[in-house]
Structure 1
Amino acid sequence: MKNPIWPIILIFFISISCGRQDTFDILILNGTIYDGLDNPPFQADLGIRDGKLVSIGELDGQKSRKTINAEGLTVAPGFIDMHTHLEPIMELPLAESLVRQGVTLALGGPDGGGPWPFSDYLDSLDQMDIGPNLAYLVGHNTIRREIMGNEDREPTASELETLKNYVAQAMDAGAFGISTGLKYLPGTFAKLDEIIALSQVAAASGGIYTSHLREEGLGLIEAVQEAIQISQDADIPVVLTHHKAIGVKMWGQSARTLALVDSARSAGLDIMMDQYPYAASHTGISVLIPSWALEGDKFEERVNDPVLKDSIKSGIIFNILNDRGGNDLRRIQFSRVSWKEELEGKTLADWLEMEEMESTIENGAELVIQAQLNGGTGTIYHAMDEKDVENIMKHPMTMIGSDGRLSRPGEGHPHPRAYGTFPRVLGYYTREKGVLDLQTALYKMTGLSAKRLGIQDRGSIEEGNFADIVIFDAENIIDKATFTDPHQYPEGIPYVIINGQMAVEDNRFLNQGYGQVLRKNQP
């Protein structure tokens, strides 16, 4: 005799299954949607299920486990940070300083400083709950240092082959390209042929080349020309990363660099830029010191030689007057000083006053030497012109990248870009100053960046894409972090969704990690 209960049970489970398919995990209703593809905004609802954006249209009344009424708010793809210092990710895996800005994907390993061993590092991240999605570049400085230390010489034929093999290994492991830091050791010692040879390896796997140029002050024009030549000879897309014109003597020169970009693109080369929306940069105090003086880790020995010290000091004075020093000791501000924390937030002029030394460029150079001997500092350089910032921002091939280091309130005195980059573009430069319109600004931080990375299922609001979504108040979004008080989260971003999960809800960071490690050319 047949059991009459089985058809009932079967119908029950089928109804549950169908009900699940008809139920969304998240519904976003009544929002103004910018799709990240540089199209005009439109009104629609979004349905999210199983980490994906599965429906766009009229969805009011549909079943959902969570519903967001986005009336009066802007709905956009999650922001893509094209230049992020993710080095503290193991200690700060949820990356709150990024996610609260609306960043759902961050590109790490810039300035030649990518992780190594590359595959092992990404495998370690895979085991962690991370906040945003993460992608990485292989760093030229990192692998050169692994093989050659900080030596000022060309690689041997064998060493060059090893360098190329390292790039190939990283690309096979999912790197999105190669980064260089030609202003820093040991990249500054690399000749053009070396960079081209390594870039060709990255290009063979569809990678990009991003570069902290060899110079961003005096020598900027030649440095841009070098990057363009690398694009041509290596047949590789190039990003002039954190593009700027630094130092009083170079103010206004963005007109020339942008003309070079336009000319190269007209000739068929794929040149783009990224930029942070501030007129101050951040790097180590060592950038003021001639690179030859730091070669081979013999800086202390050289400054103990009176003749060499005189040359080193002259080089520092030159850089303070003509480059990142901005010809003013008050433009050099300390962000992180492990050996003298009371300097954090203070300037080089303040330090001279604390030491009861006369405020001269020469004395400032002496303290720069002392700082390097003590282990260096993180340093903010107020040496850029606002007109150049706006000029670069308006260029159609400029994307947005914070160049920020993952930060936690109370630790050090970081550049405010670590907390405020993307809200600053949308609030200050778009709404208040009108440098960009909202559609263009959002395209620069979403679809344009995804296209540069070759990512087709993120960076835009399209059915089937991963549900990386930011919901913000276009009338009130603003950065709050300042150079005097940097540890402040932005306002006006009540919701951030990463891979279909709530990361920020009702302005509250939920302390959950839903990000994924992305690998190029891999599922």
Structure 2
Amino acid sequence: MIRLLTFLLGICFLASCGVSADLLIVNGSVMDGSGSPAQELDVAVRKDRILRVGPEIKMRAKRVIDAEGKIVSPGFVDIHAHIEPLTTMPEAESHVRQGVTTALGGPDGGGPLPLGKYLDDLEEQGVGMNVAYLVGHNSVRNQIMGLVNKAPTEGELKAMEALVAKSMQEGAFGISTGLKYLPGTYAKLDEIIALSRIAAREGGIYTSHLREEGLGLIEAVSEAITISEKAEIPVVLTHHKAMGQPMWGKSRETLAMVDAARSSGLDIMMDQYPYTASHTGISVLIPAWALEGHQITEFTKRCEDPVLRDSIKAGIMDNLVNDRGGGDLRRVQFSRFNWKPELEGKTLYDWAVAEGREPNIETGAELVIEAQLHRGANCIFHAMDEQDVRRIMQHPFSMVASDGRLSTPGKGHPHPRAYGTFPRVLGYYSREEGVLPLEEAVRKMTSLPAQRIGLPERGMIREGNYADITIFDPATVKDEATFEDPHQYPTGIEYVIINGKLAVDNGVFQHKLPGEVLRKKHSKK
């Protein structure tokens, strides 16, 4: 407070110097994003850039923020975000109020096409945070080949390569795969390598929802490492986890594989959300062959054949026991279920009991079939072990990422990561549990993902960088969203500055669109 009064008394002198800022942040503890401890520094912002960083900056400013007792951090960079609703939720409030200033969309193989037109439309509309995109392999394959289980012809492969190249030229930062999902699950290794080479030539990265995160996890990590080697491309094992009780503890092996790959010269990293539950469509429990062609109509036809239906049910039962089902119907929780919205927030177990059926694995499989026959549902799968979460979080090359979908209060029953990922790491895992030092937690959500994406002027507080800044209270920052009541914004995120403009001001969301649509600058190898 004394320094703030000194600043105000010096305004008349400073006016004669002709040096001014639009925003001056004083008295804060600056964590620059590098992993270094906080320093007592001021930060001056002019327009969309950081003008000066240093002790006791004396400069005229249109607005002064007294950040005493607060951490002044780079804005958080979400390297795995489901921002598909951005056209209807352009302010991205559920992300921005977590302190996120930049998000990478198009994960899990699902990037928008044609990308250039999509980015143009977003620019015209305006966005609440900075957004960048990957080109999605599933989107590319579906456009060229549809949902068929076969290898591409030479012509189809060339068409896919051309579409990836076009998307890279239009601004994609790399390619994503969703090898657990249709139609990516039908792709063989050589197809993925060929398309990844196209992205690599433009300086892009590869992010992968692995082919398996349960019983086939080790083989799936090995596949991703092979892709990095053969395509000569940096790889991110996205939302890295060990899914299902038989695999709990296997993160020791996967992390050792990452370390060995890095020691051999490969560029392998991971991202992770800080929860023991995943979130995806209920169809993830269904064998991929049963969904080929069309996930509803062809699936319905197969279910009308008693022999095929029995095979489908057996495959679902296996997944309920060994994979995302976690061996207990209580572990499968509905987040969005248009056919039965009254079940949102409830579980497969609750559904079975409500219908007077025995809540066992066989009943659960039958209910999964019923759900898919009625256009499916989204579910939260409580099937991960806390020790794996902590072990992955502590790895020096794991990044914090939400895998969260833009959400708005009252709509559906989303995974709490949509509202709480970044504050949860800062509050629960760093402050309360001591899993990470605070400066390391900040590094994992700022400079590390910014560098991975290829955004050298974001992710760190330094002069000349874009003014993406998050100011939070280290004593109170906390995720409030829960699995029972997910629609809750976090506390302790007091200011969010995006390209020099206040998006959150003293805890109040400003309903502005200060973000930029980012396009990769080409750096061919």
Range into which the TM-score falls when normalised by the shorter chain: over 0.9
Question: Among residues 127, 137, 141, which one is paired with 1:140 in the alignment?
Answer: 137
**Distance between the aligned counterparts of 1:360 and 1:236, measured in 2?**
45
How does the TM-score come out when normalised to structure 2?
A: 0.95
**Distance between the aligned counterparts of 1:494 and 1:341, measured in 2?**
35
Q: What is the one-letter code of the residue matched to 2:333?
A: Q
The 1:50–1:291 alpha-carbon spacing in structure 2 relative to 1, beyond 3 Å, is same
Which residue of structure 1 lines up, in the alignment, with residue 386 of structure 2? 386
Q: CA deviation at 1:39?
A: 1.8
Which residue of structure 2 lines up, in the alignment, with residue 270 of structure 1? 267
Percent identity between the two aligned chains: 62
**Distance between the aligned counterparts of 1:522 and 1:190, measured in 2?**
27
Matched, 1:94 2:71: no
Which residue of structure 2 lines up, in the alignment, with residue 12 of structure 1? none
Which residue of structure 1 lines up, in the alignment, with residue 78 of structure 2? 81
Q: How does 1:124-523 map to 2 (within 5 A)?
A: 124-297=121-294, 298-521=298-521
Which residue of structure 2 lines up, in the alignment, with residue 7 of structure 1? none
Q: What is the one-letter code of the residue matched to 1:63?
A: R
**Partners of 1:477 and 1:490 within 8 A in 2:** yes
Q: What is the one-letter code of the residue matched to 1:366?
A: E
The 1:452–1:20 alpha-carbon spacing in structure 2 relative to 1, beyond 3 Å, is farther
Q: CA deviation at 1:21?
A: 5.5
1:155-183 CA deviation, whole Å, 9 max, x = no partner?
11000000000000011011000000000
**Partners of 2:203 and 2:522 within 8 A in 1:** no
The 1:432–1:189 alpha-carbon spacing in structure 2 relative to 1, beyond 3 Å, is same
Q: What is the one-letter code of the residue matched to 2:152?
A: P
**Distance between the aligned counterparts of 2:485 and 2:188, measured in 1?**
41
**Partners of 2:84 and 2:405 within 8 A in 1:** yes
Note the aligned Cα RMSD (angstroms).
1.3
The 1:148–1:415 alpha-carbon spacing in structure 2 relative to 1, beyond 3 Å, is same
Q: Kindly report structure 1 stretches of 4+ aligned residues shifted beyond 6 Å.
A: none
Q: CA deviation at 1:522?
A: 6.3
Deviates more, 1:475-484 or 1:447-456: 447-456
Count matched residues.
507
**Partners of 2:466 and 2:499 within 8 A in 1:** yes
**Distance between the aligned counterparts of 2:56 and 2:159, measured in 1?**
56
Question: Among residues 24, 32, 35, which one is paired with 1:35 in the alignment?
Answer: 32
Q: CA deviation at 1:355?
A: 1.3
1:319-341 CA deviation, whole Å, 9 max, x = no partner?
00000000000000000011211
Q: CA deviation at 1:23?
A: 1.9
Q: CA deviation at 1:274?
A: 0.2
The 1:505–1:301 alpha-carbon spacing in structure 2 relative to 1, beyond 3 Å, is same
1:187-216 CA deviation, whole Å, 9 max, x = no partner?
000000000000000000000000000000
Q: How does 1:113-132 map to 2 (within 5 A)?
A: 113-132=110-129
**Partners of 1:51 and 1:499 within 8 A in 2:** yes
Gaps of 5+ in 1: 1-17
**Distance between the aligned counterparts of 1:520 and 1:248, measured in 2?**
40
Q: What is the one-letter code of the residue matched to 2:119?
A: L
The 1:29–1:522 alpha-carbon spacing in structure 2 relative to 1, beyond 3 Å, is farther
**Distance between the aligned counterparts of 1:128 and 1:356, measured in 2?**
50
**Distance between the aligned counterparts of 1:60 and 1:88, measured in 2?**
41
**SS across alignment from 1:274:** strand
**Partners of 1:46 and 1:59 within 8 A in 2:** no
Q: CA deviation at 1:62?
A: 2.2
Which residue of structure 2 lines up, in the alignment, with residue 6 of structure 1? none
Q: CA deviation at 1:410?
A: 0.1
**SS across alignment from 1:470:** strand
Which residue of structure 2 lines up, in the alignment, with residue 9 of structure 1? none
Q: What is the one-letter code of the residue matched to 1:68?
A: I
Q: CA deviation at 1:256?
A: 0.2
The 1:19–1:124 alpha-carbon spacing in structure 2 relative to 1, beyond 3 Å, is farther
**SS across alignment from 1:451:** helix
The 1:261–1:518 alpha-carbon spacing in structure 2 relative to 1, beyond 3 Å, is same
Q: CA deviation at 1:440?
A: 0.6
Q: CA deviation at 1:40?
A: 2.1
Q: What is the one-letter code of the residue matched to 2:230?
A: D
Q: CA deviation at 1:61?
A: 4.5
**Distance between the aligned counterparts of 1:55 and 1:263, measured in 2?**
41
Which residue of structure 1 lines up, in the alignment, with residue 10 of structure 2? none
**Partners of 2:28 and 2:41 within 8 A in 1:** yes
**Distance between the aligned counterparts of 1:95 and 1:221, measured in 2?**
36
**Distance between the aligned counterparts of 1:507 and 1:159, measured in 2?**
51
Q: CA deviation at 1:60?
A: 4.9
1:232-289 CA deviation, whole Å, 9 max, x = no partner?
0000000000000000000000000000000000000000000000000000000000
How does the TM-score come out when normalised to structure 1?
A: 0.96
1:56-77 CA deviation, whole Å, 9 max, x = no partner?
1234552111110001000000
The 1:506–1:522 alpha-carbon spacing in structure 2 relative to 1, beyond 3 Å, is farther
**Distance between the aligned counterparts of 1:401 and 1:60, measured in 2?**
34
